[in-house]
Structure 1
């Protein structure tokens, strides 16, 4: 496959503050790649460097093999959709879509064709003569995306474009942007702090923390095989449970009391580790049988699924995602069981995932 974009040892500093620490990444032609991470991790800064809105302090940015460091944003062949719609309020939708093309003196007939094609693709043909103030939030976001489409860019760049929408609209727009990618086939880079957006939209996810890449991979690869505790905790909702313990040889002893032989590739020597287990992997027994017992502090009955929030006698908490309806009361004691095949064990420098012999 062809690399649309290559980042080679990209670093960025603002004065004495280093914010991007040597990032290497290759994005293939037609990929939908999502940058995800907590606030301040550097994802938007990295997107601005790709766009040409900021210059890297060092390293090379290559677009289809061409080094573009120092090339103005307007000459990179990219289109960016921001969190704010940034539409011109005094212009109609049609004028907003065509304005950028008029500035580069594109022939009028070509502009008309591109605007009409984009409007049809986004199903906003009936809105072309309205102004932004007459549109809903979702409609304005479609216009902002349409403005990017008419430029026919090499790469679409999205900087948290759904943050200003309510939950129902965010879901709808996630589907629409994914469908748009399938129809256009362009390379897309999408920045979000929402791991659900990342999981549902991406071909590959780039997880960032502190200006560094923690892991790159397909959504389910990151979910099933996180490289470290940070990625394990960031990807997945509800969040993975983390329980403290020690590993001596291949015997895991949790602070909450459970002792279990675990198939780690490298035996431990009594060091502190963390057991990670997804909420949906935890078994539940109302009669109290299981590997351990927890006290139910709270629960949420959603019909198709039940979330249980419990606490061990040592004070550690546990979230359970039960795939059925189940009768519960606050304060009751229930049994929970942990299948070994669902274990993730983290330890050592960087709380990396220990290799398991499955």
Structure 2
């Protein structure tokens, strides 16, 4: 397939600048996901890659060739949109074949490419049906098939699963990941759903306010978020942020008194903080267990079988969520104590940047 390089991409709509100097190097055959909240610029950036929007400044380079001023059809890309955009009066075969008809391919080539795409997407027995006779997931596969037959250098996906129900989205995530492996293709995927990003991506681009907040593998972003924004966006349930004050900073790390009255000694680099500085401790819900330390007043308890999600607040009112064992003996309205694993905690300075952890949890082989 192809590499994709974005060099200093900027985009303005009148006086409003929505993308700020985006620099990304996407590797050949890589599955990269753009993720971020609504309005962060992810769909605009995808449309600029596709040629549907023109960048105010910067270059788009596909496989070493500058395509910034080329028409979409000449860029070697194919895009799958949020809406299926299928022709209701055409069969599945003809919907998939449509871009090949436009290119005036021979019927033999059309048959070969459409049948191959249908086989990959498990649509072979649906080729004679109309879109109205298909489920939502099958219609999305038809839209993807129309993209596959063009044999593009880069596949682009703009929130293709957002119209599906939760169960079908889960199935389609698996199918798209399998499709990526089978096609061995370069893919760029836009979503606001961080679960999709974590489960599908080789690397994730987290966008915030038109800027790249961080670019890395899912587990890199999970274990080593560069900023409070990334830490709060990646992970489900969301990370907790507990206000505190630095009381000591030495070679062993940083000692912090929380507003809840607990003292935590965390193995993080003390550079950039001093005694008396206000900080926030980032604690993932799955990194706590029942014990002594923070006191949680449970307001809502979600029993999910294998885990129990306790939502509540610390004694000072700071909202807090804990993911505990499914059989944990806890009840709504009954306070519990929580122990925090210091090696898993994060410390964020007032400007939102993180203090580097001296030792991070290793992946289990």
TM range (shorter): over 0.9
TM-score, length of structure 2 as denominator length: 0.94
Verify the 8 A CA contact 2:310 2:322 in the aligned structure 1: yes
Q: Distance in 2 between matches of 1:244 and 1:329?
A: 26
1:283 aligns with 2:292: no
Q: How does 1:185-224 map to 2 (within 5 A)?
A: 185-224=184-223
Deviations 1:277-336 (A, max 9, x none): 110111114xxxx01322111101111111111211111121110133123322112111
Change (3 A) 1:128 1:3: closer
Query: Could you tell me which residue of structure 2 aligns to residue 38 of structure 1?
Result: 37
Q: Distance in 2 between matches of 1:136 and 1:212?
A: 37
Query: Could you tell me which residue of structure 1 aligns to residue 252 of structure 2?
Result: none
Verify the 8 A CA contact 2:6 2:22 in the aligned structure 1: yes
The worse-fitting range, judged by mean Cα deviation, of 216-225 and 264-273 is 264-273
Q: How does 1:190-339 map to 2 (within 5 A)?
A: 190-250=189-249, 251-265=255-269, 266=271, 267-285=273-291, 290-339=292-341
Q: How does 1:105-144 map to 2 (within 5 A)?
A: 105-144=104-143
SS in 1 for 2:53: coil
SS in 2 for 1:270: coil
Change (3 A) 1:54 1:18: same
SS in 1 for 2:277: strand
Shift in Å, 1:3:
6.3
The worse-fitting range, judged by mean Cα deviation, of 267-276 and 39-48 is 267-276
Deviations 1:68-115 (A, max 9, x none): 111000111111000000001111111111111111111221111000
SS in 1 for 2:326: coil
Structure 1 runs (4+) greater than 4 angstroms displaced:
none
The worse-fitting range, judged by mean Cα deviation, of 243-252 and 39-48 is 243-252
Q: Distance in 2 between matches of 1:64 and 1:249?
A: 52
SS in 1 for 2:242: strand
TM-score, length of structure 1 as denominator length: 0.96
> What is the alpha-carbon root mean square deviation over aligned residues?
1.2
Aligned residues: 352
Q: Distance in 2 between matches of 1:141 and 1:323?
A: 37
Q: Distance in 1 between matches of 2:256 and 2:183?
A: 50
Q: Distance in 1 between matches of 2:312 and 2:98?
A: 56
Shift in Å, 1:223:
0.2
